[in-house]
Amino acid sequence: MNKDVSVTGMSVTAKSDTAFLVVKSAPLTGSSNTAASVQSAALTSDTAVTASAQLYPTAHEDIAATVNYTAIEAADQTTATDTDIWYYKYSNDPATSNTSVTAATPVPVAEFDDYVLVNAFDLTVKNNGGGASISDLKVSSCTITASDGGDQAVKVLVAGPNGNAEFDGAGNSSGSNNVICNSVTSEALSQVRVYVYWDGNDADVYTNGAADLKSTAVTLGFTGTIVNPGA
């Protein structure tokens, strides 16, 4: 991967597979969303607050299916200025991706948004009375498109409070059946976070190839099992 390569232009949209599950984009901090306001808006599809970013290529260490967004964003316990799982390395030759590659360097916490586009979505279910809820929230679909064909180097990591799933533009997935949230109820909000990044370990992500990586759109679908539809 090459630290001095930047790319721009993307959008992230989340949708539910059923009108029973409703979704609303949210800022990472200071959200004014409530279960009642999301239910009132009754959106089954919404686009993220942060629609674009300039990013350097990066990658992350292996993570277990049960790792949640808190751990994904965590700082290293020993070196608090570094992220715990994210890193970059680069080739000293701009014409190739595998010549004179540097050692992996942790992404600094203060620069995390230079490497990873993070967006949040709040989910709840319609308040039909009687404690309406679903269980086992999962990512049912992830579509990554780029107008110039650079989508294969894009990766999307989706995490809730109980787990994560990851997808790439080549159609591969890791943990597509993973439960990212054990329960979504009508009484509270359940947040999921979407991490979009350029996979620095992709062979095409170096200076002479990175021009292909722009104008990307990500659309995610969420689904769960209805436990109680309400009264």
User: Could you report how far apart the first and last alpha carbons of the chain are, in Å?
Assistant: 54
Dihedral-angle region of residue 100 (phi above 0 means left; psi in -120 to 50 means alpha; beta otherwise): left
Other Cβ atoms within 10 Å of 87 Cβ, number: 18
Closest by CA position to 83, among listed 55, 111, 57: 111
**Cβ–Cβ under 8 Å, residues 107 and 82:** yes
Q: How do residues 166-183 score in pLDDT, each as one tens digit?
A: 998 878 888 889 999 999
For residue 215, the model assigns a pLDDT of: 76
Q: How do residues 173-215 score in pLDDT, each as one tens digit?
A: 888 899 999 999 999 999 999 999 988 888 778 777 776 666 7
For residue 108, the model assigns a pLDDT of: 97
Global pTM value: 0.94
Given a cut of 50, the residues of the chain with pLDDT beneath it are none
For residue 162, the model assigns a pLDDT of: 98
For residue 212, the model assigns a pLDDT of: 63
For residue 213, the model assigns a pLDDT of: 67
For residue 229, the model assigns a pLDDT of: 86
